[in-house]
Amino acid sequence: MIDRITVDKILDAANIVDVVSDFVTLKRAGANLKGLCPFHDDRTPSFMVSPARNYCKCFACGEGGSPVGFIMKHEQLSYPDALRYLAKKYGIKIEEKELTPEEIQSRGDRESMFILNDWAREWFRKQLWETPDGKAIGLAYFRGRGFRDDILEKFQVGYCPNDKAHSLSADALKAGYQERYLVNNQNEMEPRLSIGTGLSLKRDNGELRDRFFGRVMWPIYTVSGKVAGFGGRVLDAATKGVAIKYQNSPESIVYSKRKELFGLFQARQAIRKADLCYLVEGYTDVMAMHQQGIENVVSSSGTALTPEQIQLIHRITNNITVIFDGDEAGIHASERGIDMLLSEGMNVKLLLLPDGDDPDSFARKHTATEYQQYMQENQVDFITYKASHAIGAKKGEPDAEERLVHNVAESIAVIPDEIKRTIYIRHASQQLNMPERLITAAVNSQIAKLRSEKQKELEREQRKQQPDQTTPATSNGGANTSVPARASLDRTGKTPESVIAQILIRHGEKVMCYIEDENGQEVPLSVAEYISYSLQDDNISLQSAICQRLLQEAVENAHKPNFQAEQYFISHPDEEIRELALELGPDNVALSKLFNVPESATLSGEEDKPAEGSDLRLEEIVPNLVATYKLSVVKKELQDIIAQMKLPETKANKEKYRQLLAEFTEKNQIVKELAKQCGDRVVLK
């Protein structure tokens, strides 16, 4: 439990620009900053950050939040763990006792798995440096490849012994970690992503066996530095007859190979500083380049490049240089990734090492100066790269030139920016010695083909979804009980209830008027309290559960020192409330035109405008708003009564009919009174 004083220190220290900049490269846009959204496949910057309001918002997917909310969403942490993350970032001390195994379990599956992985990282590291086998086998392997000790420590490499008497599995159980997090367990919500780290394998007899026994180990970090999984390599002396030298942690709720890049945690600052990322294949390639003084490098961990990995890089830089081995397999691997990188809007260059070399072996043959010089002098754009390889193969293949043009056109066609496409078409014309119009025609033909394929795919998806789009039958007077409570809120701010939510978020703590207490003294009445008391007078409540929570918490906190409803709800531990606060907050949705409330500033990149000013007449707006909401509720009740009175079984039951008629008369009078307050006319059918 983190005490309130410490929480306030964390919230005061957390700066949205600092926090977001750890994951996204931001550029100035007026008084705000913008970058590529980390929550969806964003190709044009739509993620806006407001230093003045200390929160962020994506205008494409709608994600955003305060510093705490951003970390919760990005790192998939609970509210307390997000606070701990920020406390560590800003050097704020939190006094907490060491977790017991029971407390570890209570932190949830994801956090428990991260904790276990971090323990395993340290266990592997100690085996490498402190045990005889680790030194003789694991450490000898790394030093045999020329790695310095500081590089080994930088990447926290380790060793997993092939020793049944001394295993990670046994030590983890002794340390209080649960078996369910050591092995893989079926995840009912997402069968492909298991619960459990997979550090151990369970045999038929119930015994646990280390997954990575006899391997040197690399921890694989998330962007923020959590250990998501591991990669292990069988040592050279043990590779005979082994089909797979490298093995990774299994897919789980904390680790997916296609969504992680080895070395990104260590490289992110260097990538941002150089505005360039080098992409290589293996773990040792990354380490070798760091040893040569080149730190802006990541690895796809030996897998084919994925869109998720590209997006991780693109949030930090637009520029990438792909480095692959100089053999035929390396050439094919680099070509597969070119179009994916271009389609994400990246500026792509390629660098092929001499045949037979990879970044690791090449580093061992050259000094740091020679290595860096070679990289600077041998990077080429994808057109030059493709042209040089195709021309080399053209002699025995008469149609090679035609294939080259179409190959280049296919790559240019996936580039999303039209200006960049035009520049590359001109460059291709010069490189290939072809008329520009022919290249343009080939590119346009490929674009049309891609659009047609995309349209067909969209139509297929729509056909799949059509059966799910039917509206289920409803009961309870037409209310669809399967719809979440939040769905009843109109996000445009046009329904009375959604305007109440806006008022509570923006002005819930403000004094609307003064009333006399039982001692005859004047006391302030907040907006939230007025709304609550007024609804209670007529025994009416808010229809959506989330709106009712907003009202209740605004009333409870209204008179607490320094309480500000907007900041309170934007930083709320409940994700649903945070999101609603951002959607209906002052930067996103204007108050209903019905109340003539001035619109406030937006995150549009322009200079911040003044917030709603002193001409906001809450003493007029709020009573009118509450009356309007009451009117909508009572009208609905009146319509339900009319519907029941029309039923044949009701007409046959005279007592029931008389009761309904009395209710109708009472409700109809209330409607008329409320309509006068709202200046409304009542028309019942």
* Dihedral over Cα of 419, 454, 410, 276: its sign: positive
pLDDT of residue 314 exceeding 80: yes
pLDDT of residue 99 exceeding 50: yes
Query: Quick check: 326 and 357 in contact, CB under 8 A?
Result: yes
Higher local confidence (pLDDT), 447 or 493: 447
At 552 the pLDDT is: 87
- Tens of pLDDT, residue by residue over 319-370, are 999 987 666 666 666 667 888 899 888 899 988 887 777 888 888 888 888 8
DSSP letter at 415?
-
> Could you tell me which residues come within 8 angstroms of residue 563 by beta carbon, excluding any fewer than 6 positions away?
509, 557
Residue recorded with tokens 């802006």: 296
What mean pLDDT is predicted for residues 4-31? 86
pLDDT of residue 118 exceeding 60: yes
Percent of the chain whose pLDDT exceeds 70? 80
At 480 the pLDDT is: 38
Distance separating alpha carbons of residues 527 and 555, to the nearest angstrom: 9
Alpha carbon distances (Å) from 63 to 533, 569, 574: 34, 15, 14
Alpha carbon distances (Å) from 343 to 42, 285, 364, 448, 450: 11, 26, 35, 15, 12
DSSP letter at 189?
S
pLDDT of residue 206 exceeding 70: yes
pLDDT of residue 30 exceeding 60: yes
CA–chain centroid gap for 564, Å, is 27
Query: At 320, is the secondary structure helix, strand, or coil?
Result: strand
At 367 the pLDDT is: 84
Residue 97 CB burial class (10 angstroms; 0-12, 13-18, ≥19): exposed
> Could you tell me which residues come within 8 angstroms of residue 236 by beta carbon, excluding any fewer than 6 positions away?
141
Distance separating alpha carbons of residues 270 and 280, to the nearest angstrom: 16
Q: How many CB atoms lie within 10 A of CB 135?
A: 15
At 174 the pLDDT is: 93
Query: At 186, is the secondary structure helix, strand, or coil?
Result: coil
At 97 the pLDDT is: 55
At 266 the pLDDT is: 93
At 334 the pLDDT is: 65
Q: One-letter amino acid identity for 419?
A: I
Alpha carbon distances (Å) from 253 to 99, 187, 229, 417: 22, 9, 11, 35
Higher local confidence (pLDDT), 682 or 585: 585
Taking each helix axis from N to C end, the angle separating 618-645 and 654-678, rounded to the nearest 10 degrees, works out to 160
Higher local confidence (pLDDT), 633 or 130: 130
At 168 the pLDDT is: 95
pLDDT of residue 234 exceeding 80: yes
Bridge pairing between strands 319-324 and 347-352: parallel
Averaged pLDDT score across all residues of the chain: 80
What mean pLDDT is predicted for residues 470-485? 38
Write down the H helix ranges in 484-617. 496-507, 527-537, 545-557, 565-570, 575-584
Phi and psi of 234, rounded to 5°? -65, 135
pLDDT of residue 443 exceeding 80: yes
Q: Give whichever of 141-145, 335-339, 366-370, 489-493 has the largest mean pLDDT.
A: 141-145
Higher local confidence (pLDDT), 360 or 179: 179
Q: One-letter amino acid identity for 61?
A: C
DSSP string, 211-248: TTTTEEEEEEE-TTS-EEEEEEEE-GGG-TT-S-SEEE
State the pTM of this model. Answer: 0.61
Q: Which of 79-88, 304-313, 342-351, 383-392 is predicted with the least confidence, judged by mean pLDDT?
A: 383-392
pLDDT of residue 651 exceeding 70: yes
pLDDT of residue 102 exceeding 70: no
Q: Which of 64-73, 392-401, 439-448 is predicted with the least confidence, judged by mean pLDDT?
A: 392-401
Q: Which of 133-137, 194-198, 291-295, 662-666 is predicted with the least confidence, judged by mean pLDDT?
A: 662-666
What mean pLDDT is predicted for residues 177-186? 88
At 200 the pLDDT is: 94
At 237 the pLDDT is: 57
Higher local confidence (pLDDT), 349 or 685: 349
Higher local confidence (pLDDT), 419 or 151: 151
Higher local confidence (pLDDT), 333 or 535: 535
- Tens of pLDDT, residue by residue over 613-650, are 334 577 778 888 888 888 888 888 888 888 888 888 88
Phi and psi of 84, rounded to 5°? -65, -40
